């Protein structure tokens, strides 16, 4: 099984909240120390550090300067990837599989309060789109409206999806929003940018997460049955684009294909036991099911209405509560990966793990459409 080359040696996350109470480097130091302890890897074993943050979310330029030492990088190799948690984990995998490192820490934190709408607005080009005041909420809303038009989805469907995520987050001790809103409460929340209601949109969450990855030979000395990263893929979408293409999420489709190939997965619907999708706003979840190949285009709503996507249904989705309930702009990718690690290792008392393969998808939707980047990660445990 040549795909099992990189294993997870340890991980740690913390309870995410609506406010920050510590500096980012303190948070990273805490979760990294906890992850190392769990892994029985010492600080001396660390060869390299990858930090998954964006300068703009950290409030300083070259923020990796502040953050990499907090994850143990002093005197070692380090890098900072701004394209999210999955991309950062892939960087660590590449480093290990190229023989350059045997042990890599991947870490991220959300500690600084900022205005997310301002940030996404500044991520648009200054010539044609930024002057219109477009941001991730306005553009996600337009993409959602297009999806509704093409596939006859309704605000009710989106509210149902949102409520599913809220319900699941109630059982996640680390999730931020534990209010468990019902579909009615979601529909009654004010419309921010049609068709998105306030509760269809993620809040901003504060917290930190850290994962320690090791090479195959180190993994076998640490554990009999570690979790392996068996596949990954990444994709991008053009910024100057035709929106009719965008709603099919071509970048995610590309990333998924690449990940399935690496993980030797021919039938994702049958082989993957649980998925975490990046639902910055609820409608995106439906588009992601389709792009990942879990249902045909346009059938997402159908399956939703028939209850196929739920904890008890055929495919548990967003057991963590998704990005909707815990949205650390820097760390949600790592956070949801950690929740899936806990699930695979049967560490979640309220959830019994029913499979040995899970999928996490991560994107920079928080910067808006078009022009996004998508990452897909497959975790596997030998039965």
Partner 1 sequence: MGNIMKKEYSWKLDYSVSVGDVYTRFYEGLKEKKILANKCAQCNRVYVPPRPFCDICFVEPLEWIEVNPTGIIQTYTITYFKFENLPDPPYVTAVIKIDNSATSLMHFIGGIQYNEPNELSEKVKIGMRVEPVWSDERTGDILDIKYFRPSK
Partner 2 sequence: MPRKVAVIGVGNTQAVSAFSETREISQIAFSAIYAATKMAKVSMHDIDITFFCTVDGFEGTNRLDRTMNSFGQSSHNPVVMVNTGGTGGASGFKEAYHYVASGFCDVAMVYGNSTGASVVNGQQILNTASPPLFEKPFGIGALQMAAFYATRYMHEYGATEEDFALAAAKNHKAAAKNPYAHFRKGYSFEQILASPMIGWPLRRYEICPISSCASAIILASEERAKELSDTPVWIMAVGSITDTFQTGYRDYIGFKQLRTLSEKLYRATGINNPLKEIDVAELFNPFSPFELWEYEALGFCDEGKGSQLIRDGVTDIDGELPVNMSGGTLCTNAGISASLNRIGDVALQLMGKFEGIQVRSPRIGLAHAWGGNLGQFNSIAILAR
**How far apart are CB 60 and partner 1 at their closest, in Å?**
9
Report CA-CA distances (Å) from 62 to 13, 51, 57, 89, 179. 24, 11, 11, 20, 36
User: First vs last Cα of the chain: how many Å apart?
Assistant: 13
Residue 132 is a binding residue for partner 2 (CB under 8 A) = no
Residue 115 is a binding residue for partner 1 (CB under 8 A) = yes
| Helical ranges in the chain per DSSP H | 24-39, 55-58, 64-67, 85-97, 116-121, 136-151, 155-170, 183-188, 216-222, 243-246, 250-262, 268-271, 283-291, 300-305, 322-325, 332-344
Distance CA(222)–CA(346), nearest Å, equals 18
**How far apart are CB 70 and partner 2 at their closest, in Å?**
8
Closest CA to 364 of 355, 348, 375, 356: 375
- Contacts of residue 240, defined as CB under 8 A and 6 or more positions apart, other chains included, come to 370
* Binding residue for partner 2, selected from 43, 74, 261, 346, defined by CB under 8 A: 74
Residue 373 is a binding residue for partner 2 (CB under 8 A) = yes
Residue 81 is a binding residue for partner 2 (CB under 8 A) = yes
CB 363 within 8 A of CB 140: no
- Contacts of residue 145, defined as CB under 8 A and 6 or more positions apart, other chains included, come to 194, 195
**How far apart are CB 212 and partner 2 at their closest, in Å?**
17
**How far apart are CB 350 and partner 2 at their closest, in Å?**
35
Residue 251 interaction partner, one of partner 2, partner 1, none, beta carbon < 5-8 Å per kind:
partner 2
Q: In this structure, are strands 6-13 and 196-197 parallel, antiparallel, or unpaired?
A: unpaired
Distance CA(374)–CA(371), nearest Å, equals 10
- The reply to whether omega before 195 is within 30° of 0 (cis) is yes
Q: Which stretch binds partner 2 (CB under 8 A): 115-123, 178-186, 219-227, 353-361?
A: 115-123
**How far apart are CB 59 and partner 1 at their closest, in Å?**
8
Residue 34 interaction partner, one of partner 2, partner 1, none, beta carbon < 5-8 Å per kind:
none
Residue 97 is a binding residue for partner 2 (CB under 8 A) = yes
Could you say which DSSP state residue 201 is in? Answer: B
* Binding residue for partner 1, selected from 40, 43, 149, 306, defined by CB under 8 A: 149
* Binding residue for partner 1, selected from 1, 44, 126, 383, defined by CB under 8 A: 126
Distance CA(327)–CA(279), nearest Å, equals 9
Contact track, partner 1, 173-192, x by CB under 8 A:
-----------------xxx
Contact track, partner 2, 237-266, x by CB under 8 A:
xxxx---------xx-xxx-----------
Residue 129 is a binding residue for partner 1 (CB under 8 A) = yes
* Binding residue for partner 2, selected from 46, 68, 201, 338, defined by CB under 8 A: 68
Distance CA(39)–CA(12), nearest Å, equals 10
Could you say which DSSP state residue 222 is in? Answer: H
* Binding residue for partner 1, selected from 238, 261, 307, 346, defined by CB under 8 A: 238
Q: With respect to partner 2, which residue has the nearer C-beta, 248 or 345?
A: 248
Residue 138 is a binding residue for partner 1 (CB under 8 A) = yes
- Residue ranges binding partner 2 (CB under 8 A): 25, 49, 54-56, 59-62, 64-66, 68-69, 73-83, 87, 91, 93-100, 119, 122-126, 130, 234-240, 250-251, 253-255, 364, 367, 371-373, 375
């Amino acid at each position: 099984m040549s795909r099992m080359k990189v294993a997870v040696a340890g991980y740690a996350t913390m309870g995410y909240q609506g406010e920050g109470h510590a500096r980012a480097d303190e948070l990273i130091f805490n979760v990294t120390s906890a992850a190392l302890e769990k892994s029985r890897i010492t600080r001396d074993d660390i060869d390299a550090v990858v930090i998954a943050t964006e300068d703009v979310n950290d409030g300083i330029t070259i923020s990796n300067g502040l953050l990499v030492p907090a994850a143990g990088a002093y005197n070692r190799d380090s890098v900072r990837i701004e394209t999210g948690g999955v991309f950062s984990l892939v960087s660590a995998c590449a480093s290990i599989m190229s023989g350059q490192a045997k042990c890599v820490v991947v870490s991220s934190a959300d500690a600084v309060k900022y205005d997310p709408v301002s940030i996404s607005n500044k991520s648009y080009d200054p010539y044609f789109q930024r002057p219109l005041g477009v941001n991730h909420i306005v553009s996600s809303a337009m993409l959602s409206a297009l999806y509704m038009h093409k596939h006859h989805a309704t605000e009710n469907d989106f509210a149902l999806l949102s409520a599913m995520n809220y319900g699941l987050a109630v059982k996640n001790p680390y999730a931020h929003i534990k209010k468990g809103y019902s579909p009615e409460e979601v529909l009654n929340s004010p419309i921010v940018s049609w068709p998105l209601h306030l509760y269809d949109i993620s809040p901003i969450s504060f917290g930190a997460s850290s994962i320690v990855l090791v090479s195959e030979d180190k993994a076998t000395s640490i554990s009999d049955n570690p979790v392996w990263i068996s596949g990954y893929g990444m994709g991008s979408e053009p910024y100057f684009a035709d929106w009719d293409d965008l709603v099919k999420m071509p970048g995610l489709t590309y990333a998924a294909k690449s990940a399935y190939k690496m993980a030797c997965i021919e039938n994702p619907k049958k082989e993957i036991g649980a998925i975490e999708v990046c639902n910055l706003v609820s409608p995106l979840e439906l588009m992601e099911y389709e792009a990942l190949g879990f249902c045909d285009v346009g059938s997402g709503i159908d399956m939703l209405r028939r209850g196929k996507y739920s904890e008890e249904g055929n495919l548990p989705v967003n057991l963590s509560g998704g990005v909707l309930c815990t949205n650390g702009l820097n760390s949600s990718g790592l956070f949801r990966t950690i929740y899936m690690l806990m699930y695979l290792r049967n560490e979640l008392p309220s959830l019994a793990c029913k499979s040995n393969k899970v999928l996490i998808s991560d994107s920079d939707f928080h910067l808006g459409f078009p022009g996004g980047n998508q990452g897909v990660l497959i975790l596997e445990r030998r039965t």
